[in-house]
Structure formats: structure tokens, C-alpha cells
């Protein structure tokens, strides 16, 4: 039998990783994050978009967010997923939708980060990013690369030629060993290789991780190469390692917190649980206690 305490725990876990279901709740969260010396990035959760009409709603949501950032004065940019804008329906639709957001952000002096999703859409995502980047500036639109993918180092070299602002993360999807390194050590080694390439490039990038080893490697490298703290930002997820977020901000590093919100939180929440087996064991144990 599912216990009441387990259900309460589940709800508490959700609110730990997701900043509510509405824009206003996310804004309140971001005010608090800004108050702790960090910037933010909005992420409207909705990976279940299946029609062109629904993609229009996503565009409206993001235009609304960009307007509210200006009205409220919070310090935040936005992160988008191209599947939310129709990538799996028609890539041209996703491009047109994303273009509306980038155009509005550019007009407002804000910035759009295109998240990276599963390897089935890596190339399509890069292609659309390149198209947008050819129309807009370096500080209008950026992309994400995942160190678990075997192709990522080459993608980073290629994208830096444009140049492009890149967020490097380890990667959060289940990928086959043909495309992704199955061993954590290789993922971490690749992360450090790409991080060094990014930091040396002179472009402002995002180093997204909660892993103290990756953070230490970044700080060691920037100190060794005399790269300033203002040359890049660390990025972490809302609800994960808040202590570390605050410490890095206090130490003078640029620290951005990625803030997901929205009604369709389930797939995002499950990815966060999967990253921390202790959370899953707790749920299994408590869900089935008499
Ligand atoms: C700002 C940001 C944006 C991201 N954007 C993308 C994206 O566009 N595409 C994509 O595929 N992935 C994205 N990710 C997710 C990323 O790929 C990883 O899945 C996630 O960050 C975990 O990897 P890690 O670098 O923190 O290292 P890990 O080796 O997974 O974790 C290192 C340590 O961090 C802590 N930790 C990590 N995750 C959790 C958690 N969920 N709960 C509690 N503690 C945790 C633990 O102490 C763990 O030991 C993003 C991550 C961040 C921070």
C-alpha cells in the first residue's frame, strides 16, 4: 500500500526541483535566487507537445516570460527545447517558432539558450542553431553540448569557429554506447577536455555541473591560464547543491540557476531522480511499506 508520508515526500521532492506551475511562481523563485547573488534561466516544462497549435502556445508562453523579465527587472534569460517548438513535427516549424523567441529576446537585449535533447535530434538542433546564429548575434542565442556524446568535442571545435556561446553539461538522456560513452570516467574526461577548449576560446560560456571534480578542474584551469572569473559562468539546476551555488557566488563567480516550471514536470522530475539513486530507493521503500 502507498503510504501518506511517501506521497508527501514525492510532492516535496517535486517542489524541490520544479519552481511551481505558473510563471508568477517561477518569478518569485528567481527573485529569491537573484537575492542570493545568482542569475537564472527560465525553462517552461512541456515535452509532450504533439501539434502545431500547441507549439504556438509555447511561443506565447516564452514571449510572455521575456516581457515579464523586463517588467519585473529580475535577472534571467530563457532556455528553450526545440521539441517543444515542434522539432519532431516539422523542423521548419521549430525553426520559425524559435526565431520568434530569439528575435524578441534580441530586441530586449536578452539571451536564448537552446537546450540539447536526445541524440536523435542533436544534428537537427545544431542545424537550427546555426541558422539562427547566422541571423542573430553571439549574445542573442546559444546552444548546449553534452560531454557523454562521442561527437561533442568535434561539435565544440566546429561551433567555436562561428563563434557560439556554449553550455557544456554531461547529458541527461539514455543513450546507446554507439553514440555516448558508457563509462562515467570517459564522460568526465571529455567534459574537462571541452571545458578547457571553451575557456580558452575567449567567448562567454556556461559550465553546467554540480560535480565538485568538474568545478575544481575548471577553477584550476582558469587560474593556471590566468582566465578571469568574469569570462564564463557556472550553471546549476534549481534544487541541486544550493550550498555550492551560494559558495561560488560568494567567491565572486558568475552563477546561473536553471529554473524549470510548468504543469508538465514529470519527465524532467524523473531525470533528476534518476541522477540520484538514493532518492529512488527512498521512494520504493516508502511507497510499499504497509
Ligand atoms: C544548468 C544546467 C542545464 C542543463 N541542461 C541540459 C541540457 O540541455 N541537456 C541535457 O541533456 N542535460 C542538461 N543538464 C543536465 C546534465 O546533463 C546532467 O544530467 C546533470 O547536471 C547531472 O550531472 P552533473 O554534471 O551534475 O554530474 P553528476 O556526476 O551526475 O553528479 C555529480 C554530483 O552532483 C550532485 N547531483 C547531481 N544531480 C543531482 C540531483 N538530481 N539531485 C541531487 N544531487 C545531484 C550529486 O552530489 C552528484 O554526486 C543540465 C544541467 C545543468 C546544471
- Return the pLDDT at 290: 37
Cα 258 to ligand 1 centroid, rounded to whole Å: 11
The grid coordinates of residue 285 equal 521503500
- Return the pLDDT at 288: 52
Q: Domain ranges in the chain?
A: 22-264
Residues of the chain with pLDDT under 50: 289-290
60 is known as an active-site residue: no
Whether the ω angle into residue 178 lies within 30 degrees of 0, i.e. cis, is: no
Report the Cα–Cα distance between both ends of the chain, in Å, rounded. Answer: 6
Query: What letters, b where the CB count within 10 A reaches 16 and e where it falls short, cover 104-123?
Result: bbbeeebbbbbbbbebebbe
C-alpha to C-alpha distance for 153 and 236, rounded to whole angstroms: 22
Q: Please tell me if the CB atom of residue 44 comes closer than 6 angstroms to any atom of ligand 1.
A: no
Contact 10, 284 (CB under 8 A): no
Find the catalytic residue in 133, 165, 167, 256: 167
Cα 210 to ligand 1 centroid, rounded to whole Å: 6
- Return the pLDDT at 35: 98
- Return the pLDDT at 283: 60
The CA distances from residue 65 to 13, 23, 170, 239, 260, in Å, are 25, 7, 27, 21, 12
Q: What is the pTM of this model?
A: 0.93
Which one of 118, 172, 215, 234 would you pick to mutate in the ligand 1 pocket, going by the greatest count of ligand atoms within 8 A of its CB? 172
- Return the pLDDT at 19: 95
For residue range 72-121, what is the model confidence (pLDDT) as tens digits? 999 999 999 999 999 999 999 999 999 999 999 999 999 999 999 999 99
- Return the pLDDT at 289: 47
For residue range 48-58, what is the model confidence (pLDDT) as tens digits? 789 999 999 99
C-alpha to C-alpha distance for 241 and 279, rounded to whole angstroms: 15
- Return the pLDDT at 13: 76
CA-nearest of 187, 114, 178, 105 to 144 is: 114
Phi, psi (rounded to 5 degrees) for 281 = -60, -40
- Return the pLDDT at 155: 99
Q: What is the CATH number of domain 22-264?
A: 3.20.20.220
The Cβ-side half-sphere exposure at 57, using a 13 Å CA radius, reads 12
Amino acid at each position: 500500500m502507498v503510504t501518506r508520508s511517501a506521497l508527501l515526500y514525492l510532492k516535496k521532492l517535486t517542489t524541490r526541483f520544479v519552481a511551481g506551475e505558473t510563471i508568477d511562481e517561477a518569478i518569485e523563485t528567481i527573485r529569491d535566487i537573484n537575492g542570493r547573488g545568482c542569475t537564472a534561466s527560465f525553462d517552461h516544462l512541456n515535452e509532450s507537445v504533439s501539434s502545431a497549435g500547441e507549439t504556438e502556445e509555447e511561443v506565447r508562453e516564452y514571449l510572455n516570460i521575456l516581457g515579464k523579465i523586463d517588467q519585473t527587472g529580475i535577472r534571467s534569460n530563457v532556455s528553450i527545447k526545440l521539441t517543444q517548438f515542434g522539432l519532431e513535427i516539422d523542423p521548419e516549424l521549430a525553426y520559425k517558432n524559435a526565431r520568434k523567441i530569439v528575435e524578441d529576446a534580441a530586441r530586449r537585449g536578452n539571451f536564448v539558450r537552446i537546450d540539447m535533447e536526445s541524440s536523435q535530434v542533436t544534428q537537427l538542433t545544431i542545424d537550427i542553431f546555426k541558422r539562427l546564429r547566422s541571423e542573430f548575434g553571439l549574445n542573442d542565442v546559444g546552444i548546449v553540448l553534452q560531454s557523454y556524446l562521442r561527437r561533442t568535442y568535434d561539435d565544440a571545435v566546429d561551433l567555436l569557429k562561428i563563434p557560439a556561446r556554449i553550455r557544456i553539461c554531461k547529458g541527461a538522456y539514455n543513450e546507446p554506447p554507439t553514440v555516448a560513452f558508457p563509462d562515467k570516467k570517459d564522460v568526465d574526461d571529455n567534459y574537462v577536455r571541452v571545458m578547457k577548449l571553451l575557456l580558452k576560446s575567449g567567448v562567454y560560456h556556461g559550465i553546467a555541473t554540480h560535480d565538485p571534480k568538474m568545478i575544481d578542474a575548471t577553477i584550476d584551469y582558469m587560474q593556471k591560464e590566468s582566465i578571469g572569473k568574469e569570462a564564463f559562468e557556472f550553471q546549476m539546476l534549481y534544487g541541486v547543491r544550493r550550498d555550492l551555488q551560494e559558495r561560488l557566488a560568494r567567491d565572486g563567480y558568475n552563477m546561473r540557476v536553471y529554473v524549470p516550471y510548468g504543469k508538465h514536470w514529470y519527465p524532467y522530475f524523473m531525470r533528476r531522480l534518476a541522477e540520484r539513486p538514493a532518492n529512488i530507493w527512498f521512494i520504493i521503500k516508502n511507497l510499499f511499506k504497509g
